[in-house]
Structure 1
Amino acid sequence: MKKILQISNYQYPHIGGIEQVARDIADSLLDDKEIEQKMICFNEDAQDGNYLCHRKETMHDSVDGVEVIRCGCFAKVASQSLSFTYPSELKKVLKDFGPDIVILHYPNPFVSSFLLPMLPKITKFVLYWHLDITKQKILGKLFHGQTLHLLERADKVIATSPNYVDGSPYLSQFRAKCEVIPNCIRMERLTPTAAIYKKAELIRKENEGKILCFGVGRHVPYKGFTYLVKASKLLDDRFRIYIGGKGELTQSLKEEAKDDPKIQFLGRVSDEDMIAYYLACDIFCFPSITKNEAFGIALAEGMYFANPAVTFTIPGSGVNYVNLADVTGIECPNGDVRAYANALKTLADNPELREKYGIAAKQRVIDKFTYREFKSRINDMICRVRKQN
């Protein structure tokens, strides 16, 4: 029996990109009866059905049949949770569970400071690199030495795109250890029902004759929705732009768009509504602008529904690995509002080009970013790490 411990930032019912990848990894390994799994993370206020979590509480429960140790938090500094119970819980699970492989989802500097001295030399260590620390520049400099130690200790470093390996000042120094496993979409979650198809038809009927553009994500600076709002002001009235999600910038985005009837904010959208808009739209807008957007699951989902994508060029980000310029959509100079508007006009004026890019977009997702492909790569990687000397 091989034992695997994942160290994630949080876990379901808290929803985020890193958390979903950790859950996908756990799901990918469930079929192997020779593998026993556990996961440790911070706790966070979140609820989904019967799952109810409180940030300050340390608790053990399970997700998809895998035990999850949630460590209560007393504060959050620079997006990093802090916990009194984490060191003791980590020490206990390393000793009592005795994992053969530890998978650390990076960045997580607070946990790394405890993990490095605690991790037995015989334990295989996989560093799952989601993104560089870019937003908190002081924090990044403070933990520079720690980050190098993590990479030196790692038996394998997983990146989500070749672009990130090339663009990261850290990963580019450790190419020999790096392996690319792209993030995945869960196709079963995206399967439309009859009710969803009907909802998509209603959206189209309400906007008959219009070019529908759809974008969804948290309303935070790096997601770039302000550039989409600005681009809309340069478009004519044939366009309708729907923006889903919420966040710290929601109110300022609404204020910026108040005189533009082409834009409608949807708020937080359910899975059913999101699929309906994926089906209904003509163009998928993904205006992220920094490497904080390391991959773009929503981008892959939008493309899966045969929608051409419009993105910005983000050096070192996987966004431009998911959406290929002039193959699955259009890529614009970063932050160039006029170029973004012109890209939307180009696609609006050329239905054949929209269809060509849309077909290629769907095929790229099917070929590269499905759960089936992800599961195969994860199991293969774990098998090779187990055999490493």
Structure 2
Amino acid sequence: MKKVLHVSKYYYPFRGGTEQIAQDCVNALMGKYEQKVICFNDGDDDEAADVDGIEVIRAGCFMTVASQGLSSTIGGKLKGMMKTFKPDIIIFHYPNPFVAYYLLKYIGMDTKLVIYWHLDIVKQKILRNFFRGQNKRLVERADVLIATSPAYVEGSPWLSSAKEKCRVVPNCINAERLQESLEVNAKAVEIREQNKNKIICLAVGRHTAYKGFKYLIQAAHLLDDRFQIYIMGKGEETERLKAEAGNDRKIHFLGLVDDAELKGYLTAMDIFCFPSITKNEAFGLALAEGMYYGKPAVTFTIPGSGVNYVCLNGEDGIEVPNRDVKAYAQALQKLASNPELRERYGRNGKKRVKDNFLDSQFRSNLRLVIDEL
């Protein structure tokens, strides 16, 4: 049985987009390949434990700089894995420049390298320039570069420079996790009762700048009182967003919620708001989840991102010029005034997700890429 080593920043039970996809990769290859995972620990101690029967080696992380972990032990652990586990294939989740240094140093010539290119380093301009040489070596060494959408291949200077190595594997949602239940349906009924004769708009995500919640709030200020805007999540921008909302009674912050409450709001909503503004939003997994519930979405145009690949303008929702608050508000008003359009876009969006972005398609797509090696 061929051996696959997964190299991720963190791994389950740590929650994050990259970490979820790393776990999806492991699950997709389960039973067909012998697998191990190496990653940082969400703390300063080294650990090793099984997750779903797969050994996960975690290196203690003593500090984080510009969202990148630093560890005194991960280099030695990676070197040891090359000697003892002897992987045939490594799946490396990028960006992770600190670990990339050791990967390039210790990977054997006979080991195939798959780089799962989640996103370009965009915001950290100093880091972006500092690791330019490393990126060049990674792209040259890679046997396969995985992108989450065709748009990201075209929009990334690194991926577009090596198109012959690129394979598109769209991210997936776990439909089983999103199934309704009596508890969920009861919660949805309660939410609708609380918002009788209102248009319920929902936004979900970490409160960070690239998620664009500021622009959603500014758009909300232009809307009439039939709208109710619910924003889930929290982050470093939360207090600034609350200040931006001011005393606008249409805007509600829900914080972090459990799965039942999340699904209750997804079921009850009329419109899904996804106001991300930069390529840091490489795909939009929360967008696909919102579309799965059969509701239209409103997005910004993000050149080079997969967001406008996930939700097609004029078919599954409405796309407006980036950061154009007035246009965003007008899109919400158009959908609010046209129930038939909401129903049609929602139906189309759910079909698009079921046809393209479920875990069954992800499993098939990833296995095809790995089996080719």
TM-score band by shorter chain is over 0.9
The match for 2:174 among 178, 186, 189 is: 186
- Is 1:195 equivalent to 2:183 in the alignment? yes
Are 1:8 and 2:8 matched, yes or no?
yes
Q: Write out aligned runs for 1:60-139 (5 A).
A: 60-139=48-127
Structure 1 residue 292 displacement after superposition: 0.4
Aligned-pair CA distance for 1:12 = 1.1
Alignment partner of 1:301 is 2:256: no
| Secondary structure of 2:57's aligned partner | strand
1:50 corresponds to: none
Q: How does 1:362-381 map to 2 (within 5 A)?
A: 362-381=350-369
| In structure 2, distance between residues paired with 1:62 and 1:25 | 16
SS of equivalent to 2:10: coil
Whole-Å separation in 1 of the counterparts to 2:297 and 2:70: 38
C-alpha distance in 2 between matches for 1:30 and 1:324:
33
Matched with 1:42 is 40
Q: Work out the CA distance in 2 between the residues paired with 1:29 and 1:172.
A: 27
CA distance in 1 between counterparts of 2:206 and 2:105 reads 36
User: Which amino acid letter does the alignment assign opposite residue 249 of structure 1?
Assistant: E
Q: What is the rounded CA distance, in whole Å, between the counterparts of 1:232 and 1:117 in structure 2?
A: 51
**Corresponding residue to 1:229 among 189, 214, 217:** 217
Cα distance in structure 1, aligned partners of 2:52 and 2:202? 32
User: Aligned with 1:375: secondary structure?
Assistant: helix
- Pairwise CA distance, 1:62: 1.6
Length-normalised TM-score, structure 2: 0.99
Residue 339 of structure 2: aligned partner: 351
Cα offsets for 1:57-98 (capped at 9, x unmatched) = 101012121111100011111111000001110001111000
The alignment partner of 1:335 has SS state of coil
How far 1:270 moved relative to its partner? 1.1
CA deviations 1:159-211 (Å, max 9, x no partner) are 00000000001110000000000000001110111111010011001101100
- Cα drift, residue 30 of structure 1: 1.1
Q: Which residue of 1 aligns with 2:22?
A: 22
The one-letter amino acid paired with 2:18 is I
Distance across 2 between alignment mates of 1:308 and 1:324: 10
Q: Distance in 2 between matches of 1:61 and 1:136?
A: 33
Give the SS at the match of 2:162: helix
Partner secondary structure for residue 104 of structure 2: helix
Structure-2 separation of matches of 1:229 and 1:78:
27
- Deviation for aligned residue 1:31: 3.1
CA distance in 2, matches of 1:256, 1:109: 35
TM-score, normalised relative to structure 1: 0.95
Distance of 1:129 and 1:195 partners within structure 2:
38
Once the two structures are TM-superposed, the CA of residue 381 in structure 1 deviates from its matched residue by 1.1
SS of structure 1 residue aligned to 2:314: coil
In the other structure, the counterpart of 2:253 is 265
Partner SS state of residue 344, structure 1? helix
Note the C-alpha offset of 1:271. Answer: 1.2
Q: Distance in 1 between matches of 2:182 and 2:143?
A: 47
User: Which string of whole-angstrom CA distances, capped at 9 and with x for unpartnered residues, describes residues 278-315 of structure 1?
Assistant: 10000000000000000111000000000100000000
C-alpha RMSD of matched pairs (Å) = 0.6
**Alpha-carbon distance between aligned partners in 1 of 2:67 and 2:369, rounded to the nearest angstrom:** 30
Unaligned residue ranges in structure 1 (runs of 5+): 45-54
CA distances 1:209-245 after superposition (whole Å, capped 9, x unpaired): 1000000100000000010110000000000010000
Give the letter aligned to residue 358 of structure 1: G
2:303 corresponds to 1:315: yes
Equivalent pairs, count: 373
- Residue by residue over 1:357-380, the C-alpha shift from the partner in whole angstroms, topping out at 9 and shown as x without a partner, is 000000000001000000011111
- Give distance in 1, aligned partners of 2:6 and 2:319: 35
**1:258 Cα offset (Å):** 2.2
Amino acid at match of 1:18: T
Quick one: distance in 2 between partners of 1:334 and 1:280?
Answer: 27
Which of 133, 152, 166 does residue 140 from structure 2 map onto? 152
Task: Supply the distance in 2 between the matched residues of 1:81 and 1:240 (Cα, whole angstroms).
Answer: 39
Q: Which residue of 2 aligns with 1:338?
A: 326
- Consecutive aligned runs of 4 or more in structure 1 exceeding 3 Å deviation: none
Partner residue of 1:277 out of 260, 265, 269: 265
* Partner-residue secondary structure (3-state), 2:203: strand
SS in 2 for 1:20: helix
Distance 2:24 2:103 in 1: 23
In 1, Cα distance between the equivalents of 2:36 and 2:334?
50
Segments of structure 2 that go 5 or more residues without pairing to the other structure are none
